Amino acid sequence: MIDLHTHSTASDGTLTPEELVLLAKKEGLEALALTDHDTTEGLKLAYETALKIDLPFLCGIEISVKYENPGHFHLLGYFLKPEIPELQSTLKLLQEARNKRNEKMIEKLQALGIPITMEELKEIAKGEIGRPHIANLLVKKGVVKNFNEAFDKYLKKGAPAYVPKALLSPEEAINLVLKAKGVPVLAHPVSLKLSYFDLKNYLKELKKFGLMGVEAYYTEHTKEFTEILLEYAKEFEFLVTGGSDFHGANKPDIKLGKGFGNLNIPFECYEKLKKTLEKMQ
């Protein structure tokens, strides 16, 4: 059992990087990657903790990317070591934009008559702030009954308090990872909401930009969709990865390494990814 797509308190997860690694060891995982949203802040602690307990570990990141269709596009980047200076200036700009976005969403909620403040949000988040933290605060204050209602009623795309992210283009995001000697991988292709035919054509286009892998094994992928992705990966000579998208209590139904209980990610995904990274150094 391995998991190459997880989140910590450095972005919108609820376990610290150290707690995440220790849980992975406790649950019997044979390899782990930390892939927080638009930040590498948690990588050093996770990497050092993994070394201490002898858990195979890859450093990662998940970058939000511009996408014109109804779904959304996230790019995973994988690296051998936590120090990735080539990324930092761009990530700083993305994080500043994220902070302004959070402020605008709070202002929109206040304009709707909802008593919510940035100070309350910071107290809940204990680190980087994202929409899941706002959703949890809305639940805590009794504005909505649950996490999903918060997104549906206020925070999802098109909802009254939604504010778009500042995003890189697919080509910019892929090049950013490549320049930092990382491997760019398309995260959860199901989120693109494309037909099989359109997905195949889009993967072909992304390969021209330098995409190197596809996350075929994922919590919300059906067995049929996973098999289709494995076929496309073979055709385009992509690396295959997999992950649960674990967020701790922010997505309580998703278990580390297991997803909804349907995940079985081959260890060779980690092995091939690591070998590719070593060749790129």
> Cα–Cα distances in Å, from 81 out to 4, 48, 116, 167, 229?
15, 10, 39, 25, 28
| Cα-to-chain-centroid distance, residue 199 | 20
What does the pLDDT look like over 59-114, one tens digit per residue? 999 999 999 888 899 999 999 999 999 999 999 888 888 889 999 999 999 999 99
Q: What pLDDT is stored for residue 99 in this prediction?
A: 87
Q: What is the CB neighbour count within 10 angstroms for residue 244? A: 26
Q: What is the sign, positive or negative, of the torsion defined by CA atoms of 196, 258, 182, 61?
A: positive
End-to-end CA distance of the chain: 27
Q: Are 247 and 13 in contact (CB under 8 A)?
A: yes
> Over 80: is that where the pLDDT of 127 sits?
no
Q: Which amino acid is at 178?
A: L
| Mean predicted confidence (pLDDT) in 32-47 | 96
Q: How far apart are CA 137 and CA 51, in angstroms?
A: 35
Length of the chain: 281
Q: How far apart are CA 238 and CA 235, in angstroms?
A: 8
Q: What pLDDT is stored for residue 130 in this prediction?
A: 82
Considering only 35-44, 124-133, 149-158, 225-234, which range has the smallest mean pLDDT? 124-133
Rg for the chain, CA atoms, rounded: 18
Q: How many CA within 13 A on the CB side of residue 8?
A: 27
Percent of the chain, pLDDT > 70? 99
- Going by C-beta distance under 8 Å and a sequence separation of 6 or more, which residues neighbour residue 161? 105, 108, 109, 112, 134, 154, 155
| Mean predicted confidence (pLDDT) in 171-196 | 97
Q: What pLDDT is stored for residue 211 in this prediction?
A: 98
pLDDT category of residue 20 using cuts at 50, 70 and 90: very high
User: Does residue 144 sit in helix, strand or coil?
Assistant: coil
Domains belonging to the chain, first-starting first, are 2-91+169-280 (3.20.20.140), 96-155 (1.10.150)
Percent of the chain, pLDDT > 90? 83
Q: What pLDDT is stored for residue 194 in this prediction?
A: 96
Q: What is the DSSP string of 211-244?
A: --EEEEEETT--HHHHHHHHHHHHHHT-EEEEE-
Q: Could you say which DSSP state residue 184 is in?
A: E
> Over 80: is that where the pLDDT of 38 sits?
yes
| Mean predicted confidence (pLDDT) in 238-258 | 95
| Mean predicted confidence (pLDDT) in 4-10 | 96
Over the chain, what is the mean pLDDT?
94
Q: How far apart are CA 151 and CA 145, in angstroms?
A: 11
Q: What is the sign, positive or negative, of the torsion defined by CA atoms of 84, 89, 90, 92?
A: positive
> Over 80: is that where the pLDDT of 200 sits?
yes
